[in-house]
Amino acid sequence: MPTPTDQDQSDLPTPRPISIVRTRGDRVFRRLATGAGLATFVILALIGLFLLLEALPALKDQGWKFFTNFEWNPPPRGTTFGIGAVMYWTVVVATISLVIAVPVSIATALFITEYAPPWLGRPLTSLVDLLAAVPSLIYGMWGVLFLNPRMIGLSEWLSTHLGFIPIFEVHNDAFGNSAFVGGSILSLMVIPICTAVMREVFSQAPAGEKEGALALGGTRWGMIRAVVLPFGKGGIVGASMLGLGRALGETIVLALVLSPSFLISPRILERGANSVGALIANNFGEGGSGLGLNALMAAGLSLFLLTLVVNTLASVVVARSRSGQGVEI
Amino acid sequence: MATSLRARPRFRRAHRRDAKPDPTARRPRRFTRRDGAVLAASAIASGSIVWLLYERILPFAGIQGFLVLWFGTFLAMYGLAVRELEGTLIAKDRVAAAAIGGVSLAIIVPLLAILGYTAWRGAVYLRAHFFTETLEFTGPEDPATSGGGLQAIVGTLEQVGIAAMISVPLGVLTAVFLNEVGGRLRRPVRVFVDAMSGVPSIVAGLFIYIILVVRADWGFSGFAGALALTILMLPTVTRTSEVVLRLVPGGLREASLALGAPEWRTAWNVVLPTARLGIITAVILGMARVIGETAPLIVTTLGNTSLNANPFDGPQDALPLRSYLLFIQGVDNQVNRAWLYAFVLIMLVLILFVAARVLGARRVGGRGERRRTREPSLDPADGVVPVSPAS
């Protein structure tokens, strides 16, 4: 492409256009690799498609009421079913887990990147990652037998002294197996995910700005507040949403810990909560075939779409933020 | 400016304290003996107050409440004490450091509680014949030491093995695509991989249940479970390998291309061998991610108390699945047996986890690679997200 300067000095040689001729091996290689990349998309699309196909009879049967009905009585037992209450509890439990997990994750990520000496920071990183490697089933069993009984005291105390706030109210002394207990256990599983992303983000805070803040006489906390936290805002939001996606999809822990409830109530300390995953796991055996199974598929489809939206948003938020450039989530 | 600052008493006080030994320099982050004393005194005082409050005035059951309250009171008290001695600015800094340090070290407590509780409940029932016998002839009334877990161990190994055989080539190839081939599809593929890592495990199970168990009329089988695990393992393998491939020095690639090697030769003979340790780490992390999955197996492999070594035919067992099925029976012996299974499972996870750490701690490239000023590490702590919790 001749530019004005080229025309002025037309005696200068113009660069030869470079054309890439790939060998046949390379063309196959590129197609193969691209195919592998697209396989992820195909699998996701197939999951959505087949769940939709199986869910359609149930969705047709109930119409939009599927999303607003509270009770779950599919054909062998009854005629109305919907995931209104189950979805409500899924979101409540996930929110409780985030309320606990996000501050803890921010603190841990800051401690590892800004405070801890290497001899402490590296083992701590390993231990937090180990928390992620513990199978969810073991969280569930531990939650039922170890944590649940130990949370009753705390729940009682909260409801006695803060019971005037609706969410801490408890009727009929039904403590334990509550959304609060479920959310607490989930928070342990969410913390490693959030911490890993936040740690990455904080570690990329520009050293020049950090040193500038310290050189101006700022304390370490002042430097963190002025540089690290504003820099990592996008990463914090993205990491929290990623944690939310995980918490929404959790199955086994909640199937074991929660005592299923199909009523909406704001009382998070009271026995009874639910989650879509737990609903499917608990009802799969007796769902048998026909509309009962279709109903479970419809619940699975709703869960799939919800987590897909949350996770994709999280991925985009992290990638778009200033701090998230090059951060893997 | 300087005089107005010096006129503020808090600054003068803070200055004078450290100025005694060396009037020219004050080390801003020095933690003196007096600072330690203030810290200890605040901890003891707040502990005593909370104990009084907790034991005498507001009856309260459970130790976590006590610890939480103690920590909160300690922070408040420590803040007030430092503020009195050093000024508001320093007090905020110290309180933030104490809060951040305390909270992050507290995470270790639940981890130890989980590992310790599992070992305490499960290890006592472990006998050598656990690895040679099955649960076929064991009833719910038999003690937890009777019978074994061979059928579950075989099932888990086969399912995770098949999942690895499918997801490793696919995942590594996807990572090669993201890192070596690229192009317009690169960004969307990365978003898909992220989205896939968030697919709830029960949904992956339902999907395989629909296509394999129902539509293909194959029935429940270990292979169905393996495919469900593949869906969950694929994103972990892809993202971890991608991070590792990115650490391979660009100079190696360019040298290979400049010598006339085609791209696929460069990828196969230069990039992948350089990153082999990291890729092994990625595979192990992926296996650790799925070995404890229970939810997808409930709907795909169903469970089987007798040994079924053929993953393609008939229901198969798995360690987490059997543990879950035993646990929900609620009978004492079965619950104990569930803990035994859980203990064996967590030992497997720990072995995988330690193996990944040991391999990952090595450096990129093996023998013969030139020293670089700062060699990138394969340690997952340096940028790879850990094994995600089973969802």
> Which is higher by pLDDT, B214 or B115?
B115
Chain A residue with Cα closest to B96: A221
Is B115 part of a structural domain of the chain? Answer: no
Distance (Å, whole) CA A198 – CA A26: 39
Check the CA dihedral A116-A118-A122-A123 and report its sign: negative
The candidate with the shortest Cα–Cα distance to B225, out of B312, B323, B326, is B312
Taking the alpha carbons at both ends of chain A, their separation in whole angstroms is 42
CB-nearest to B178 from A37, A256, A303 is A37
What is the per-residue pLDDT across B48-73, written as a single tens digit (0 to 9) for each? 888 887 777 666 666 777 888 889 99
Distance (Å, rounded) from C-alpha B98 to C-alpha B185? Answer: 47
**Closest residue in chain B to residue A204, using alpha carbons only:** B383
CATH label of the domain that carries residue B353: 1.10.3720.10
Q: What distance in Å separates the CA atoms of residue A220 and residue A205, rounded to the nearest whole number?
A: 14
DSSP A83-113: SHHHHHHHHHHHHHHHHHHHHHHHHHHHIII
pLDDT for A317 equals 84
Encoded tokens for A120: 């402490």
Partner B contacted by A110 (CB < 8 A): yes
Of the residues B59, B74, B106, which one is the last residue of a structural domain? B106
B128 burial (CB, 10 Å; 0-12 / 13-18 / 19+) is exposed
The answer to whether the beta carbons of residues A105 and A198 sit under 8 Å apart is yes
State the total domains in chain B: 2
Q: Is B348 domain-assigned?
A: yes
B212 and B102 part of one domain: no
Cβ of A249 within 8 Å of Cβ of B181? The answer is no
Instruction: Answer whether B191 sits within 8 Å of A315, measured CB to CB.
Output: yes
What ipTM was reported for this prediction? Answer: 0.88
Residues spanned by the domain of B72: 31-106
Residue B255 pLDDT level (bands cut at 50, 70, 90):
very high
- Taking the C-alpha atoms of residue A321 and residue A162, their distance in angstroms, rounded to an integer, is 39
In a domain, B343, yes or no: yes
Here the tokens at position B349 are: 């996870």
**Of A181, A195, A180, which Cα lies nearest the Cα of A268?**
A180
- Answer for the pair A148, A181: CB distance below 8 angstroms, yes or no: yes
Residues of chain B contacting A246 with CB distance shorter than 8 Å: 198, 388-389, 391
Mutate to test the interface with B, among A104, A138, A225, A283 (most CBs of B within 10 A): A138
| Cβ-based burial of A320 (10 A; exposed 0-12, middle 13-18, buried ≥19) | exposed
- Asked if the Cβ–Cβ distance from B262 to A25 is below 8 Å, we say yes
Helix, strand and coil percent figures for chain A, each rounded to 5? 70, 0, 25
Give me the pLDDT at residue B278, please.
87
Chain A contact set for B92 (CB, 8 A): 219, 221-222
- Give CA separation, A168 vs A46, A160, A164, A268, A276, in Å: 43, 9, 7, 7, 24
Q: Is residue A265 part of a domain?
A: yes
- For position A222, what pLDDT does the model report? 92
- Single residue among B73, B106, B139 that ends a domain in this structure: B106
Report how far apart, in Å, the C-alpha atoms of A181 and of each of A84, A92, A138, A215, A257 are: 21, 12, 15, 46, 8
In the predicted model, what is the mean pLDDT of residues A58-85?
A: 87
Whether B313 and B230 share a structural domain: yes
What band does B374 get if pLDDT is binned at 50, 70 and 90?
very low
The verdict on A281 touching B (C-beta cutoff 8 Å) is: yes
- The DSSP call for residue B375 is P
Cβ–Cβ gap B262/A36 under 8 Å: no
Q: Is A38 on the interface with B (CB under 8 A)?
A: yes
Does A309 contact chain B (CB < 8 Å)?
no
Average pLDDT of chain B to the nearest whole number: 83
Residue pointed to by tokens 């639910």: A274
User: Quick check: is A93 in a domain?
Assistant: yes
Please check whether residues B183 and B255 belong to one and the same domain: yes
Find, in chain B, the residue whose alpha carbon is nearest to that of A148. Answer: B62
pLDDT at B60: 62
Which residue among B202, B210, B345 places its CB closest to the CB of A280? Answer: B202
A217 has pLDDT over 90: no
> How many C-beta atoms lie closer than 10 Å to residue B240's C-beta?
32
